[in-house]
Structures are given as C-alpha cells and as structure tokens.
A and B are shown apart, each in its own frame.
Chain A
Amino acid sequence: MGELILGLLLVLLSILIYTQTGDLPSMNESQLDAGSFPQFIAILLGLLSLILVIKQSIHLLKQNQNKEQSANIKETLLDVYREHKLVLITLSLIFLYIILIQIIGFIISSIAFMIITALVIGPRKKKDVITISSIAVILTIGLYFFFQNVLQVRFPSGVFF
C-alpha cells in the first residue's frame, strides 16, 4: 500500500518538475539548456515510478482476490498509529525545536528538546531525569562554546540574551 502511494507521489513529482522546466530560459537550440537535464531525469523517474505503481497494484489486486479482507480498516489504521506513535511525536518535537531555536535561542531550546524527547521515549524515573538533564546541559554548553570559539559559528541567541 505504502509503495503505491509513494510511487504515485513520485509520478506527480516528475510531472511537476517536467512542466516547471518549460519556464527556464534557454540559450539556443543547439545546446542543452538549464532545463534539459532535469527534464531527462524527470521522464526516467516518472516512467519507473509508473512501472512500480502498476506492479504494486497488480500485486495488491491478486492479494485481495486470494483472501477476503479480514481485518477491518479502522483496526489496521490504529495498529499503524500505535507502531509509529513515537516516530510522529519525535518528528513534531524536532519541528517545534527548529522553530524555538529562532525564538528562544539555541542553548535553552536544545536543553529542553533533549530532556523532553528522552522523557517521551524512555521511562520517567527520577534517576533517568537527572542523567539526561545533566548530559543535556553539559553537552549543549560544551558544543556551544566549542563551535562559537573554535569554528566561529554564531548560533541564534534568541530574545533572552
């Protein structure tokens, strides 16, 4: 199922890229211009994705013929959700983290992100909280000063500093 959706998305992507290339300026007829190489790749990608989609649909149809759909859709969806719950939460945490870096600065948001993620994933015992908190503080501050002083990288400092 997932392959089918991914394949369809890739077909759409190739069509999008292919149509976009028309707007690109070209030098003259005799040369390959900025759009030709992506166009060539988009055609190949579109064709292969189409083959994948067709193969997958045939495969799925055969499977459906062999056995009646036993499990109902709601249950399978719930199962998928349970399996990937942590992945989804962590991805949204990363998204929040990136936004927060720009608002409250690198140091605070990194420490907060590490502690919250560790607590979401792992057990919430007192000992674990202390371990991850100390690791988070030491690591963040250490890296901050290393990059700031040795590599002259400026991290976003946020509104507080």
Chain B
Amino acid sequence: MFDLLFLGFGEIFRLDILIIIFVGVVFGVIAGLIPGFTVAMAIVLTLPLTFGMDPVSGIAAMIGVFVGGMSGGLISAALLGIPGTPSSVATTFDAYPMAKKGNPGKALSIGIWSSFLSSIISLFILVTIAPQISRFALKFGPWEMFALICLALTIIASVTGSSIIKGLIAGLFGLLISTIGADPIMGFARFTFDLKVLRAGVPFLVVLIGMFAISRLMESLERSEMKKDLEAKQKENASEVSFVLKPIQTLKTVLKKPGTLFGSSVIGAVIGAIPGAGGSIANIVAYDQAKKWSKDPNKFGTGCEEGVVASEAGNNSTVGGDLIPTVALGIPGSAVTAVLLSALMVHGITPGPLLVVDEPSIVGGIFVAFFIASFGMLITQFIGMRYFVKVTQVPTHLLVPIILVLCVIGAYVLNNRVTDLYILLAMGIIGYLFTKYKFALAPAIIGVILGPIAEVNLRRAFMTDQDWTLFLTRPISLTFLILTVISISFTIWQTKKTNERTRA
C-alpha cells in the first residue's frame, strides 16, 4: 500500500504536473458552480486537451477537475439556493438558509472544510481498499469478469433513472452501440450498413460528448427551462453578497462535529463505490442520515452547521469511493470515471484488475493526484472565492454556443475525422430523447465502455471451455449472478411497494 503511494509521490511531484492539477481544480470549480454545466461535461471537455500529455499528467488534470467540480456546486448552492450541480441539491437545504441569515461566509467555509476533510477520509479508504480488491480480482477468469459486468450494469440500471426496465434498456442500448465496427476477436466489420463512417466503430468519447454534453445543453434550451433559469438569475445576484471567510474559526467548528463528518464521509465513499450511484445520491443520503442521528433533528433545514457538513462531506467523498472499482476492477462507477478510464485507454493502458500490478506508477499517481487536488481545492476555494462568485451569472445564450463548439472540437480531435461529428450529432439527439423520456444516460455510457470487455470475456470463456454451466458452478461467478438477480428483483419489489404506498 505504501509503496504505491511513494511511487505516486515520485510521479506527481513535478512542477508542471502540480500546475496542471491546480488549473484543473480551478476549471472544475468554475464548471461546478455554473448551473447547467455539470462535472461530467467539464471532464469530457478536458480529455481532448490531455491527449498531448503523458498518461500521469493527463490523469492528474482530470482528477483535479473532478475534485474541484464536486466542491464547486457549493458556491451557487449556498449563495443562490440553486444547486450548481446535481450533487449539491441537499447543500441548499442548510447552506442557503445560513447564508440568508447573514452568515454566507460561514456557510461557504464550513462547506469548503467539510469537502476537503471528507476527500482526505475517502482517499484513505481508497488507498487501503482498492489494492486488496484488485488482488482478489486477479483470481477472476473470463467467467467471473463477465458475471461481474452483468452485475455492475444491473446495479447501475436499478439505481439511476425512473424505472428498472428503462435503465436496463439504456444499458443494453449502450452495449449494442459498442458492437458496431470491427469485432474484438476476429476483426469482422459488423453493423456498418455499408457506411464508411461506421467501419471503425463508434468512438467512445464521441458517444460521451454527445450524450452528456450536447443532450444537456439541448435540455437547457427548452422554453420552460429557459424561463426557470431567467427567474432564478433575476432573483438574486451572487456577486453582490458580501462575506468574510474565516478559515481557522470554521475549521474548529467542523472538527467539533467529528461524528457527522466521519459518518457522512463513509456514507459518501460507500455510495460512490456502487456503480451508477454518485454524488447526487450521496449528498441527499448523507444529509438524511445526519438528520436521523442528530439529537435535534428539527434544526435541520434552518441553517444548522451539521446540515452543511453532512451534505458537502457526502458529495465530496464519493470521489474516493468512485475510484475504488475504477482502479481495482476497471469498472467505472460513473460517467466521470468512465472518461478517466477512456483516457487511460487512449494512452494504450488497459484498465482492469491487472492495473495495480502492471502500472503501479499510474495507480500511485491517481492516489497522490487526488491528495494534491484536495489541497488545491482548499487553497483555490479560500483564495479565489471572491472571483468565483462572479461567474455564476454567465447567461445561457453565451454558455451554450461556446460549449457546443468545444464539444465539436473535442470530438474532432480524437481521430481527426469530420465524419465523427455526424456521429456526435446523432448521439446528442439520442441522448436528448433518452433524458426527455427519463431513460438514464449513465447505464448507456457504461454499457458502451464495458461492452467490448464483456464480449471478449464471454467469448474467451467459451473458447477455453464450451461448457456454459461453468458460469454457474464457479463460486465467485455464481455469487455475482445471484447478486444480479437479487438487485433486479429487489428494485422491482421496491417500486411496487412505493407505488402501493402512493396509491393508498
């Protein structure tokens, strides 16, 4: 465990990488605080910029954006009462009332400290757990890997979106997209429909930009969304709020609530590690749990300190949790880590259980970059808060065209092919229709990235041994498949129960 960290320190402590991380954090914070600009979008748009860097710097840049973005939502949540990202919904419950009562500086600094401390706690969890899991996963044959991917996809399908059927459909659709192009074992062209564009397959990054960035932008252009946005911006002007940050004093306040801080961080890390569930769920669950365990639950929602600590600790610690399956198994838990994995693949590094053994310097680099990025977040937030606050006012009609052009550039840069741009547009439209009718996008995206791995493992399993019952007789594989069935049936049972309750 410590050798990984030492390796990482050696990799990351170079002036250029440290600067890259700081720039990433600043960009992430800005992306996080602009309502309508999500962390996933920011990280997707960062990826093309990192193509020219070596793998460690590229990964470090993206981790910087990730950590910064998770904490950026706090600013608009506290000052405007609008979550800057979906991960800061619960932050508005207490941070906004606290700011309204005349303590905006206190709300912000408590939020920053909880984000920072919970990041460090989740880093500790990541560093201790991830290598153990990957060591265990080294025993996996193709049967186990295939069963594990089935499990991951069903969990994602059941935690995101409005119904499990739609989640599963989205996941299968993603898997289907991934089969377009050359088949991974023999190289036959599949489903190209005689279009040259499709012969090389659908590039993963293009799907990602289309589904996450373009579809989100289109959503913000709907008339009712535009109206809501305008009203929210007229209501309050964040740059007019005056506040004083008191770093030392609030650190003491946060440290006086060790239970809330630690509990919420652990909740966040565990939720982050579940594929599909990320900051947006952890933020609310951590807040809810803190309220349940509190001696005085009635003060929640009126601007109490515990509420801010719990919600911000909950969402920032998902970063560490999210990285656990990503590093240890090569299975991304969210869109953000999916981009991280595709960045590794662009550099020719195959993610999977072997990553820790084959590329210890990359894994160590990820750990240490996360550590540095947390410090970077702390420093930039305290120093730059005054300037960040001004950015919340960027109007939609400037934001949308600029980001659209960035999307087009990002998709083009990957392969230098104009034809990829048509795929981008098509994916944008599909993604928009999916969100419109409440199909979750996360399963589709993760389906696209896991599809080839699932297929290769399935076919390798049959090449090794034609007996398909091996999926059921190998104990680990069987466990994963049983868990798959349980996760589907549990979700169906749960929806039935809530439906009955709402009817009654």
B19 CB to closest chain A CB (Å) equals: 15
Residues in chain B near residue A2, CB distance under 8 A: 433, 436-437
In B394-432, the 8 Å CB interface with A consists of 395-398, 400-402, 404-406, 408-409, 412-413, 416, 418, 421-422, 425, 428-429, 432
- Contact partner of B397 (CB less than 8 A), chosen from A97, A121, A150, is A121
| Candidates B173, B221, B406, B439; contact of A121 at CB < 8 Å | B221
Rounded to whole angstroms, the CA-CA distance of A154 and B433 in the bound complex is 33
Q: Please, which residue of chain B has its CB at the minimum distance from the CB of A21?
A: B190
Verify A121–B396 contact, CB threshold 8 A. yes
The answer to whether A51 and B165 touch across the interface, beta carbons within 8 angstroms, is yes
Number of interface residues of B (CB under 8 A): 58
- Interface residue B106 (Cβ < 8 Å from any Cβ of A): no
Q: Which residues of chain B are near A128, meaning CB under 8 Å?
A: 397
Question: Given contacts A34-B183, A44-B172, A51-B165, is CB(A3)–CB(B437) below 8 Å?
Answer: yes
Assess the B173–A139 pair: CB atoms within 8 A: no
Query: Is A98 within 8 A of B459, CB to CB?
Result: no
| 1/0 contact string of B218-257 vs chain A (CB within 8 Å) | 1001111010000000000000000000000000000000
Among candidates B52, B165, B172, residue contacting A41 with C-beta atoms closer than 8 Å: B172
Q: Does A12 contact B (CB under 8 A)?
A: no
Interface residues of A in 49-64 (CB under 8 A from B): 49, 51-52, 55
Could you tell me which A residues sit within 8 Å of B by CB distance?
2-3, 6, 10, 13, 17, 20-21, 24-25, 27, 30-38, 41-42, 44-45, 48-49, 51-52, 55, 82-87, 90-91, 94-95, 97-98, 101-102, 110, 113-115, 117-118, 121-123, 128, 131-132, 135-136, 139-140, 143, 147, 150-151, 153-156
With A87-B221, A90-B218 known to touch, is A151 a contact of B52 (CB < 8 Å)?
yes
Could you tell me the distance between the alpha carbons of A112 and B381 in the complex, rounded to whole angstroms? Answer: 36
- Known contacts being A48-B169, A121-B396, is A31 close to B463, with CB within 8 Å? yes
Complex Cα–Cα for A91 and B427 (A): 12
Q: What's the least CB distance linking B379 to chain A, in Å? A: 26
Q: Judge if B293 is at the interface, Cβ distance under 8 Å.
A: no
Task: Determine if B175 is an interface residue (Cβ-Cβ < 8 Å).
Answer: yes
Q: A38-B191, A114-B405 are in contact. Are A101 and B425 (CB under 8 A)?
A: no
Residue of B whose beta carbon sits closest to that of A23? B190
Whether, in the assembled complex, B375 has its beta carbon less than 8 Å from a beta carbon of chain A, the answer is no
Asked whether, in the complex, the Cβ of B413 is within 8 Å of the Cβ of A52, the reply is no
The answer to whether residues A24 and B188 also contact, given A37-B459, A114-B402, A117-B400 and a CB cut-off of 8 A, is: yes
> Is B188 touching A25 in the complex (CB atoms < 8 A)?
yes
B455 at the interface (CB under 8 A from A): yes
CB-contact partner of B191 in A20, A85, A132, under 8 A = A20
B179 contacts the other chain (CB 8 A): yes
Given A113-B405, A114-B405, A135-B398; A34-B190 close (CB under 8 Å): yes
With a CB–CB cut-off of 8 A, which chain B residues contact A131? Answer: 398
The answer to whether A38 and B221 touch across the interface, beta carbons within 8 angstroms, is: no
Q: Evaluate contact between A156 and B191: CB separation under 8 angstroms.
A: no
Check A32–B462 contact: CB distance below 8 A.
yes
